Amino acid sequence: MSDSHHYEPAHPARRTALAPRPFRRFGWLSDAGGYSLAESMVVLVIIAIVLAIAIPNFVRISARDRVETAALDFERTVILARQKAIAKRRPYRVSINTYQGSYYVERQEGLTWVRDPNETFQLHDAVELDLLMGGNPANSVLLLEAQGTIASDDAPASVWFFNDRGDSATVQIVRTGRIRTRVD
């Protein structure tokens, strides 16, 4: 048989440098093997649209997470103070400053109160708190008795964490010392 039926490309090196035929057929790649300016612009517009949708949602979720984290951190602090009160058989208290957005834990040593740990827990700037202990809005100290219960004057206690976006979380503590946190 003759070689007349065998096809030989005129430029074999050029044939391998081009993109596969399906990409060229639909106009996704030019014959030179790159993307056109219009194609690049379409991709950039799609990325910009996705970012425009995602960034506000990320900010909203981040703000909500700060409120939830503040409430859960407070809950853990009260649980730890309660455990220490039971283990050391002495009263502990959690003092809350709503104006500064902070709280700290103290244990009773004779007639004085000593910080345990010697640390003030500060809320994130975007998170605020409010409280109601035993129906008395002026009370800002949660007293944990040596057996782990809440002092009758302080029970039930509710501490609300919130931000300016309307996200909120509530930590509720009953007389027995049981704590429940709800994120709204």
Instruction: Report all structural domains of the chain as residue ranges with CATH numbers, in order of start.
Output: 65-183 (3.55.40.10)
Q: Which comes out higher in pLDDT, residue 18 or 115?
A: 115
Distance, first Cα to last Cα, the chain: 83
pLDDT digits (tens, 9 = 90+) for 115-157: 999 999 999 999 999 999 998 988 999 999 999 999 999 999 9
Point out which residues pair with 183 in neighbouring strands. 169
Backbone angles phi, psi at 76, to 5 degrees: -65, -35
174: nearest Cα among 156, 152, 153: 156
Q: How confident is the model at residue 2 (pLDDT cuts 50, 70, 90)?
A: low
Residue 155: predicted pLDDT: 92
Instruction: Using a pLDDT cut of 70, give the percent of the chain over it.
Output: 82
**Does the structure show a pLDDT above 70 at 25?**
no
CA pair distance 82, 177, nearest whole angstrom: 8
Whether the pLDDT of residue 22 is over 60: the answer is: no
* 41-76 per-position pLDDT tens digit: 999 999 999 988 888 877 777 889 999 999 999 999
Let me know: does 112 contact 91? Beta carbons within 8 Å.
Answer: no
Q: In what order do the strands lie in the sheet with 168-173?
A: 128-133, 157-162, 168-173, 179-183
Count of alpha carbons within 13 angstroms of residue 17, beta-carbon side? 9
Q: Give the whole-number percent of the chain exceeding pLDDT 90.
A: 67
pLDDT at residue 62, as a whole number: 86
**Prediction pTM value:** 0.72
Which of left, alpha, beta for 136 (phi over 0: left; psi -120 to 50: alpha)? beta
